[in-house]
Amino acid sequence: MDVAFILDKYFKGKENVSIDVFDALTLNAVYRDVVKAMTAHFEIEVSVLQALSYCLYEMMDNVHIHSGKPLGTAMTHFDSSNKTLRILIADDGMGIQASLAQNGKYRNITEAEALKLCLKDTITDGKGMGFGLYTTSRLIADIGKEFILHSGHHKLVTKDGQTEVIENGYWQGTLIYMEIGTGEEIDPSLIVDHRTDAAEEFNETFVETEELESLW
């Protein structure tokens, strides 16, 4: 994977970009490290972390489940002055269209259609629930500044409330990039469509008892 290209394209001029490579064995440890690093930035609203931590794990787990390749890359950068968190998850696997085509219902969809479809609820290649990118799209709709989903020759871009799919360059596999605002309190239960308790899961994993008591 061309990390230098990714940095230049999505984090140009940014310092202290965190870069982590993970596989099935290290996914949980890397995920925890990434989220713990985010919690060190006290400017980030706790409710944002609670929702984001759920979406982040789902995006990273998608690499293991759907890409067909062992390795994924996670990059993060927090801009405190603009209260913006940049996150990128990428792999060089089979890509979204080929993955969905493993499900007979989506065998004949185009690459552009696959990018739009995979953000909807319960859309899956049969190996998962089809919930991870759906929750991520809900997070973006709430506090997203920019969202890019690049796979193959097509890129889905959401910015300023508008979404379009364009033919733009080539990415072998799947690349997800997003910029989210971190200063606004949100409701994590709405992001996950009330299907799990994202706030409680985050608190149990990442917040010490003493810190948790101080939140209330």
CATH number at residue 147: 3.30.565.10
Query: Considering the domain boundaries, does residue 10 fall inside one?
Result: no
**211 pLDDT more than 70:** no
Query: Considering the domain boundaries, does residue 92 fall inside one?
Result: yes
Query: Considering the domain boundaries, does residue 1 fall inside one?
Result: no
Backbone angles phi, psi at 96, to 5 degrees: -70, -45
CB 163 within 8 A of CB 69: no
Please give the mean pLDDT across all residues of the chain: 92
Query: What order of strands is seen across the sheet that includes strand 162-181?
Result: 18-22, 72-79, 84-91, 162-181, 144-159
Mean pLDDT along residues 61-69: 88
Query: Considering the domain boundaries, does residue 214 fall inside one?
Result: no
Query: How far apart, in whole angstroms, are the C-alpha atoms of residue 121 and residue 124?
Result: 9
Q: How far is CA 122 from CA 100, 125, 196, in A?
A: 12, 10, 15
Query: Considering the domain boundaries, does residue 159 fall inside one?
Result: yes
Q: How confident is the model at residue 214 (pLDDT cuts 50, 70, 90)?
A: low
What total number of domains does the chain contain?
Answer: 1
Query: Considering the domain boundaries, does residue 94 fall inside one?
Result: yes
Query: Considering the domain boundaries, does residue 26 fall inside one?
Result: yes
What pTM value is reported for the model? 0.93
pLDDT digits (tens, 9 = 90+) for 27-37: 999 999 999 99
**209 pLDDT more than 60:** no
Query: How far apart, in whole angstroms, are the C-alpha atoms of residue 111 and residue 99?
Result: 11
Grouping H, G, I as helix, E, B as strand and the rest as coil, residue 184 is coil
Query: Considering the domain boundaries, does residue 198 fall inside one?
Result: yes
Query: How far apart, in whole angstroms, are the C-alpha atoms of residue 37 and residue 34?
Result: 5
CB 96 within 8 A of CB 119: no
Residue range of the domain that includes 90: 17-68+75-209
Q: How confident is the model at residue 127 (pLDDT cuts 50, 70, 90)?
A: confident
